Structure 1
């Protein structure tokens, strides 16, 4: 009975929040009309930081989710709803990455532009799990993420046509950096012996990365951190590590480390020493103001950690 009452109470709060959101959106925002910067609210930093570069001094960008925050489990607060209401444009990633915010996006889209930046990518280019669910971790495929940022840039041009040339120039310059990042990444990972090119992490967030660099990826959980980890998942991963002599596994900044610890202990019991390769950024970037708090910096960090752990160089 208490659990049922809590669910009812939560539903009432969310309903009230959405009502407040719709009312606020009819009176707040629209800053560009007054000649101010375009106010952009994003869900994740992987969108916010690149868009702040593309938008330059014509935009003010704020991300709801910071370092260490898991977007799969994220519930919007009343403060978040107020931020969304104050924005001119809302960008989210899409394909159920922000699974608990779908209703909010639907409601706010009635009054202002809301864009899931990856949802226009052709489905044939996206990865799916065994059940047919689309993998939402698109930012690990640099070319696909450029498509998402392209869609966001086109939306900015619609909001502020007079700045279209400025946005296009900034986007082109930034994309050149991303192209260089992709080439650098592929070169680095290709130096890992093919038999050791296996990335074992807490959940299945690196599929696009693996496809881009020809690397096998094993995640203990599925695409969402809401998925359950079974004993069979842990044991099959242990067997894989032992059979292939994989030297390292990795934890993620936004995911509980207990499952990876269980794999390491199991491999040790089977006579195979597996070290902790380091911490990777998966669903969240690093802290704001750090190198890892940028998309390119986060990506480079991951590549360096993977390279050194799987080759033993730099130990």
Structure 2
């Protein structure tokens, strides 16, 4: 008999088929709410979820046979790890499976806002371009020689640093503790990093401890020539404070791939010209998705075979 696995979110059809080939699959659920559990879920030993969707204490309590939670992707902020640990439930994620792809996207986002690429696209489509006529987009300073401050120098942050250095940028970062084997400047606080930076890149792992860490004070420290790029989680940035800063010229612009209440995006952000908005697609490349799916399968296979998990949190 195939092992029983509960699937919380809807996944790409080929991956769901792959799971069904190996396991007895229940779901996907309508939400990660215990009230939405399908019949028979109480016997599931494994749960596949997303970090943003998670698995709260109520859901964990409603799954008495649960022994492992596999997060698709690197995030696990929505999993109640205390509730899981109290039951001896292991938690896994995708490790560094999408790090290259997200770092690549992060630099693309920095270019898009720093070089006004998206604005230039809208300018051309609106038939405003008249060759060398007086009306044109304002001059930009570019990225070369400027300071890239990285909030969170983990697997993704390190790769962003390497790409930024290749663009001729000076690299600084802020972590809870200095990163080993890194020659970049480690700033003592997020505020100090923002003051130092021309581009502030948010790549920190999200959690209650850094909710709204990027607030009005941090944005003011970044300053009117600074850009914010967020490819981490929307909860790390205070959206209202960001809208105020963008509208009032406290910062020059922002590129956002993540939002506080996805898929809802405030109209204040939608109407601004100095912000680039994308629908949480930094990891949405074929190579990264395949690697994440392989990691979920590897962790499930290891768990049901009684082997050590491949990427425990």
Q: Which has the higher helix share?
A: 1
TM range (shorter): 0.3 to 0.5
Give the TM-score normalised by the residue count of structure 1. 0.37
